[in-house]
Amino acid sequence: MSTDPVRPPSVDALARELATSFTLPHIVLVDCARRAIQSEPSNAIQLAHQFAHDFSQALQVDVVNATGVLLHSNLGRAPLPQFPTGRATSVEFNMSKGERGSRHQAISQLISLLTGAEAAIVVNNNAAALVLVLTALANGRDVAVSRGESVEIGGGFRIPDVMEQSGARLIDVGTTNKTRYRDYEKALHSRRNDIALVMKIHPSNFSIEGFTENVSIRELSQCSVPVVADIGSGLLDNTCPWLNGHLPSVPQWLANEPAAKQALHDGAALVTFSGDKLLGGPQCGVIAGNKELVDACAAHPLMRALRPSGHTMMWLQTVLLSYCERSVCDDIPFWNMVSRTTDSLRTRTQDIVNAAGYGHVVPVTSLIGAGSAPGTSVDSFGIQVIGDVRQQLRSLSVPVIARTNDGNTFLDLRSVHPNDDSLIISALEHISQQ
């Protein structure tokens, strides 16, 4: 005698069952239930729970970054200071005249005060800044770049591909490890070339060591065409006046990092850089320098597609005002992280281990991350837990993201805000009970 196959639950019944386990909108639970029933009717309940779990894991949530990578590209790079009120913002409203205004006016003035630029505009990210500069200033013409700087960075972003998409033509100069000023001069004087710009590219997370030579911005400024310096990481001034006594001197890891103020002083016509790296602000890209060139970029039709949101501009304004006030180490999470002393980190780490009754205090090494200050590190302290417990830490209500080494888990306190120390204690207690 044959038996009838198990009848799957209704979509509504299965969605209501999912609601007992997941705090997701009803429409999402209905979708999970419907897809599960259509895919495997006999296994619909288990599959629907898996779909709902997968959706929950895909949502962006607050996490505690205990990796020790201070600008973690997968965790949003620079954490932002808190300011939202839920109100509208005067993003393009002239408060004096009561009419439409420019979202760039105040930002341009702040960047000019901090870097010496004549003008500045802001776009979505630094890749967008490069695309806009090349499209507006070199479309159909040539751009000279050292072979050693024609790099690929994260996400498969390649300088030659950007050139092609912008309509500019890449002219490689020099060799991979050695480029001299005469290589640029040769390219500029060649009848085959129509060079509009010389571009100097920050190598991001790539470096060449040993038998090398490159050309400084000061030397390049002697060229007969404008020099565009992609400084990438967004350091405003390599003297770091905003440290203001928080550290005894400029950190060693900044020794070779290019900065906007010095690049412009040395003769760069434009600098481009990211807002969410060493600047410590939101994801955006900045184009700053010669007013005529900045205005040409601002007037290009592509600017409309690449402009940032009003919320981004508000975040950036907040960060730049902190630089002007020299309150960066208190206000901006990234600079707060790097200015913490190892003694204070050791004390915090020991207090956490004592409170949790679990883990070991160990010296660790933090990285700046996001392609900034490549090859450098910062001393720190962290907590070692025997074994790989990263999955358990990620499953907490506020996930803790850690790293492993030699099969053990490490939580670096430099990248953890002191307000989250209680979450680390709870996480350790949770792990110790498993």
Could you read off the pLDDT of 101-115 as tens digits, one per residue? 788 888 999 999 999
Neighbours of 398 (CB within 10 A): 12
On whether the CB atoms of residues 148 and 325 are closer than 8 A, the answer is: no
The one-character DSSP state at 97 is T
On whether the CB atoms of residues 131 and 296 are closer than 8 A, the answer is: no
Report the candidate in 154, 175, 166 with the shortest Cα–Cα distance to residue 197: 166
Write down the domain spans for the chain.
11-58, 64-78+337-432, 101-331
Does the predicted model carry a pTM greater than 0.85? yes
| pLDDT tens digits along 260-301 | 999 999 999 999 999 999 999 999 999 999 999 999 999 999
| Mean pLDDT in residue range 383-402 | 94
Side chain identity at residue 144, one-letter code: A
CATH fold, domain 101-331, is Aspartate Aminotransferase; domain 2 (3.40.640)
pLDDT of 82 above 70: no
pLDDT of 1 above 50: no
User: In terms of CATH architecture, what is 64-78+337-432?
Assistant: Alpha-Beta Complex (3.90)
pLDDT band at 84 (very low <50, low <70, confident <90, very high): low
Dist. CA 97–CA 102, nearest whole Å: 12
Strand 152-153 versus strand 157-158 pairing type = antiparallel
Dist. CA 218–CA 336, nearest whole Å: 32
List of residues 6+ apart from 108 with CB closer than 8 A: 119, 120, 121
